[in-house]
Chain A
Amino acid sequence: MELIAKNWYDNLAQGKIMGARCLDCGAFTFPPLSVCRQCNSRNIEWQEISGNGQVIMFSSSILPAKKFAKYAPIPYGIVKLEEGPCFFTKVEGFDCSSPEAIAQENSKLPQKVKAEVQKMEGVNIVVFRKA
């Protein structure tokens, strides 16, 4: 089997954010897995995502993951990708400084966002920024 996770993270290092299109059912899986998440087919082809999406929900925890605690408060959202799937990650440009700010931001959703690669704690990851 071809390497999947390593290739995905290696692509991020090149600034390319990849997903996987199923050649059997057409569904899009993001990030790529060993099969299509919809129909379980292994007949999949990697495609670069457009990077366009919408934040549909947004919040921030007072107990973030230990790895990221020093960045708190962290704006965290569900991003609906143009290609279909939802992805959970940090969303830049959203005010999470208080519960009132989070409530206010939620009242303005959905909000268009654009993907970018950020290196966090030595790992390249995908975050989204207000478009």
Chain B
Amino acid sequence: MTKRASIIGVGATKFGNILENPELKDKTFQEMVAEAAFEAMDDAGISPDEIDAFIVGNMLSHTSQIYSHSTLLADWLGLRFKGGFHFDTACSTTNTGMGIAWQMVKSGKYKNVLVVAGEILSSVPKGNFPLEREPLDAATLWEWTDFGVDHVYAYHHFYDIASAYGAFPTIGYMKKNGLSFEEMDRVMMAINQTVRKHSALNPKAILYEKGTLEEEAKREGFSSVEEYWRSNKNPFFAWPTRLFSALNAADGATAYIVSSEPERFSKKMPVDIIGFHWCVSNYPWYEDDPTYWEADYRAFKEAYKMANIKPEDLDYLYVHDCMQIYQLILPEVAGYVPFGQAWKYALNGDFAFNGKKPLNVSGGRHGGGHAFEASAGFEVYEIVKQMRGEAGARQIKPFPKIAAQHNHGYGMHSAVTILKAGE
């Protein structure tokens, strides 16, 4: 095995809406993906000639209109005649990609592997022509997305993602920690305030232009953020989970390059992949404690073991937050904060970039936006930028040296990867 598997370059497009955002408007899927890939190549100082293979993530073929991703992207990426394939673990895809690329370069077969993904959730091409798109309604988007859920039994039994993934784990967390609904609602607002604080500092985030929750409340004519939070602008998605505690669907693409010879390319600091683990379970078959998903426990434990670290070694954690309740459940599972305490950290603002336990500083899947298979790459981008000290106004100080990234791939593929600042 070669010694290193290091991320030498990262790229991400703006996360937004391909029909509206000037950074994305009128781009094809291929162009969006190429933009992220070229940023990663330029960041690493590597030419396509030096890349041996590339792997591509994309979930909704309905909107991208692509099946054979690597062949259809080869020319657009400058990677004709290279090795490539499509891979897919849903929303954890570009987390899983780090482990796959690790194995590809560690084996010695490949030296430099590009991991890239794109997703379009806002719209579908009319008449299969990519430059004429019509908006995709939420019900159809979720009908397609829910192919990630058991369709032999569960889906036909009135499957309800907002309850199963949001409301029940929230009720479970309240019960476990003796929190009333009013207390829990206050905690969820505090989480959202931090989410929006982060996205307001991240120009690539979908909610960047909308500023903080406090600014938005004022703009909407509310006298306080609490009043805005409890208003009909923020209805219950499924009680006790409000709409602002859920993801914002986004269009976007992300990319990174994993190399066994980082010293040959980037003058910037490489980031080493030192551990990973994947653990799957069919969903929604959890038992009577909706805050306990064994796949998450196993994924963290084995990734730490491979990396030879302990939870207390972490300087930064990202957890998949399609629903913000996971910003409470998963930092406890990860050992980043003690069990039963995450809600206190959230209330104190300790999860902010300048708090004592920085968490999801990109803005996560609500503030940053959720472009399904590209989303984990948005977090790889964030971690690499944070470790290098290139995160601008949301820079964590001192720069994090060891980070864990967790993603849920619907449903449910738990992927955890451990990253370490290189030399």
Interface residues of A (CB under 8 A from B): 5, 8, 31, 37, 56-57, 59-69, 71, 74, 76, 78, 80, 85-90, 99, 102-103, 106, 120-121, 123, 125-127
Contacts and interface: CB of A to CB of B under 8 A. Distances in A.
A90 B158 contact: yes
B162 interface: yes
B323 to A, nearest CB: 12
B12 interface: no
Closest 7 CB pairs of A and B: A61-B162, A59-B167, A89-B157, A59-B163, A102-B239, A61-B238, A66-B143
B239 A60 contact: yes
Given A61-B163, A61-B238, A103-B181, 9 more contacts: A37-B285, A60-B238, A61-B162, A64-B158, A71-B158, A85-B285, A88-B157, A88-B284, A125-B158
B159 interface: yes
B63 to A, nearest CB: 16
Contacts, number: 110
Interface string B301-313: 0000000000000
B142 A67 contact: no
A121 B172 CA distance: 31
A123 B153 CA distance: 11
B239 to A, nearest CB: 4
Contacts of A102: 236, 239
A60 B167 CA distance: 9
A62 B235 contact: yes
B171 interface: yes
Interface in B15-37: none
A62 B236 contact: yes
Interface string B137-171: 01110110010000011111111111110011001
Contacts of B167: 57, 59, 61
A76 B140 CA distance: 20
B239 A78 contact: no
Contacts of A80: 288
A61 B140 contact: no
B399 interface: no
B143 A76 contact: no
A12 B165 CA distance: 28
B185 to A, nearest CB: 11
Interface string B225-263: 000000000011111110000000000000000000000
A35 B161 CA distance: 26
A123 B66 CA distance: 32
B85 interface: no
A8 B284 CA distance: 19
B287 interface: yes
A63 B158 CA distance: 12
A66 B142 contact: yes
Contacts of A89: 157-158
Nearest to B243: A62
Contacts of B235: 62
A63 B162 contact: yes
B288 A65 contact: no
B67 interface: no
A86 B287 contact: yes
B76 interface: no
